[in-house]
Amino acid sequence: MSPPVVNVQHSVANISGASFGSAFPIGEPVQLEFKETKYNTFLRGALAGKYVLVDIPVVGGKYANTDYNMLFTLRFVTSGSAYGFTSYLMRSFPKQGLLALEYPESIKKLSLRSSDRIKMLIPVKILIKDREGTLEGAILDLSPEGALIAVNETEGIASGQRLKLSMVLPNEKLIKSIVGIICNVKKSGAKTLLGVNFSEKDEASLSMVAGFYNECRSFLPDSEGPEYDEDRTFALGQEIKLEYGKKKATTFLRGWKTGERGYILSDPPPIGQLPGPLEPGAELVVRSVRCGNLFGVEGRFAGVLEKVNLWVFGIQADILKFPLRSDIRSYCLIPVVILSESGGKLVEHGKGMIFNLSMGGAKLITKSQAPAEGYLRINFSLGFAGKVMGQKMKIVRSRVENYKYEYAGAFVGMNREEDNKLRQFFEFCKNW
């Protein structure tokens, strides 16, 4: 399996390696070039400023020959952009099948789209040329030029087909028809994912899409690296718990591999949290909390990777997942109007974007500081499910970054009608 080769003419930018943060696509295919030969392999871990870990390429059933301080070029495609950098070999670990490369100071970025896509969840109706009937689906991400769409059917769908889409955007703009071309078709579990490019002829519809897209972008943090993926079980740098008998330790995740001969890589825990040095084969439980779920897996201590100072835990069983919330959460973007009380009336205080919504509350980002009383009143639309108006939300957590305010809050005193609207919306979310 190799990264797709895309012949697109776009400008190349040099970005800081530090801007990637935790967004290296662990487990995804990459291309590794050394000694004027290109190999397909996989990315396994990274720590900003220290190292990048990849599988040692295999040729004819044997590891490719590598030498200390050899120059490597690493290339990969993720989130609609191609990335590449050159680096030197720090150390090879044949037992784990890993190469440790020096972390790059800069990374070349080639955008394969003229605009980055933003994660969405928008109901859409689809008419495909030469195919009978209307399909119902969901837009999962969106840009002014195209979208990723999920549908339940596969018959009569192929790359190159023309289609028409109709939808109501989260800002309540109705798009009766926008024409597109299916660029790729991909199975994802029980769903089929369609990569669609919009036709430039639908100027009015494209203008509405671009307007909503730009509204979303104005509230999102600026990032040079690939987008953070909420759907992954693990994230680089996340806190994990190690349980060894009755002892528990806290450390940080630096890499992983699932499936056959799987493993977890972590920083050594602080001295004293676990009883002395662990013997190879010592049994532990590794736990983590992410996106409202508890993940756990049994592992065996497999030693330390010298030079990069990583603990290795071999895992053979499946990673177990336990929901910590009774409600569903949606990680899509919904425009919100923030209200404040003035003279006994609710007036507009500012605008923002909900980026995490549940039955019990929401997380939102805005350029307007919240009223001082610790509560917000908000209006937002759930599209087909209707509007939620003047909903009171108690602020439980807040932070400020780059003149943008993030608020996490719990809904207070929601009436039955508004509650039913949310339930209808989340019933749709469950299907996609």
Q: Per-residue pLDDT tens for 75-119? A: 998 877 889 999 999 999 999 999 999 999 989 888 766 677 788
Residue 216 DSSP label: H
Percent of the chain with pLDDT over 70: 88
What is the mean pLDDT of each successive set of 10 residues along the chain, which is 432 residues long?
36 65 81 94 94 95 89 87 92 94 90 74 88 87 90 83 91 90 84 88 87 85 48 79 91 91 93 82 89 84 94 87 67 85 80 89 87 82 88 89 85 92 85 74
Pairing mode of beta strands 62-63, 58-59? antiparallel
Tokens describing residue 387: 């509007």
3-state secondary structure of 367: coil
- Number of CB atoms found within 10 A of residue 275's CB: 10
Tokens describing residue 397: 């957590």
pLDDT digits (tens, 9 = 90+) for 154-167: 777 888 999 999 99
Give the C-alpha distances (Å, rounded to integers) separating 346 from 351, 376, 390, 417, 426: 14, 11, 8, 20, 28
Cα-based torsion angle of the residue sequence 397, 170, 22, 315 in order, rounded to the nearest 10 degrees:
100
Would the CATH topology of 118-217 be identical to that of 239-323?
no
3-state secondary structure of 217: helix
State the Cα–Cα distance between residues 316 and 293, nearest whole angstrom: 21
CATH no. of 118-217: 2.40.10.220
For the segment(s) 239-323, the CATH number from 1.10.3720.10, 1.20.210.10, 2.60.120.10, 2.30.110.10 is 2.30.110.10
pLDDT recorded at residue 268: 93
Name the residue with tokens 């209006």. Answer: 379
pLDDT digits (tens, 9 = 90+) for 327-383: 666 767 899 999 877 777 888 888 999 988 888 899 999 988 877 678 889 999 988
Closest CA to 354 of 382, 333, 368: 333
3-state secondary structure of 59: strand
Burial class (CB in 10 A: 0-12, 13-18, 19+), 274: buried
- Kind and range of the H or E run holding 240: strand 239-244
pLDDT recorded at residue 69: 80
State the Cα–Cα distance between residues 11 and 3, nearest whole angstrom: 20
3-state secondary structure of 141: strand
Tokens describing residue 163: 């289609």
3-state secondary structure of 167: strand
For the segment(s) 12-111, the CATH number from 2.30.110.10, 2.40.50.100, 2.40.37.10, 3.40.630.30 is 2.30.110.10
Closest CA to 224 of 49, 15, 10: 15
pLDDT recorded at residue 21: 59
CATH no. of 329-431: 2.40.10.220
Is residue 178 within 8 Å of residue 205, measured between CB atoms? yes
- Number of CB atoms found within 10 A of residue 399's CB: 10
Contacts of 219 by beta carbon, 8 Å cutoff, 6+ apart: 352, 353, 365, 366, 367, 404
Bridge partners (DSSP) of residue 175 are 167
Closest CA to 199 of 234, 247, 161: 161
Give the C-alpha distances (Å, rounded to integers) separating 83 from 24, 47, 58, 287, 394: 10, 17, 23, 32, 42
- Number of CB atoms found within 10 A of residue 346's CB: 14
User: Per-domain residue ranges for the chain?
Assistant: 12-111, 118-217, 239-323, 329-431
Contacts of 333 by beta carbon, 8 Å cutoff, 6+ apart: 118, 119, 120, 170, 216, 353, 354, 355
Closest CA to 368 of 383, 358, 353: 353
Is residue 114 within 8 Å of residue 92, measured between CB atoms? no
State the Cα–Cα distance between residues 263 and 311, nearest whole angstrom: 10
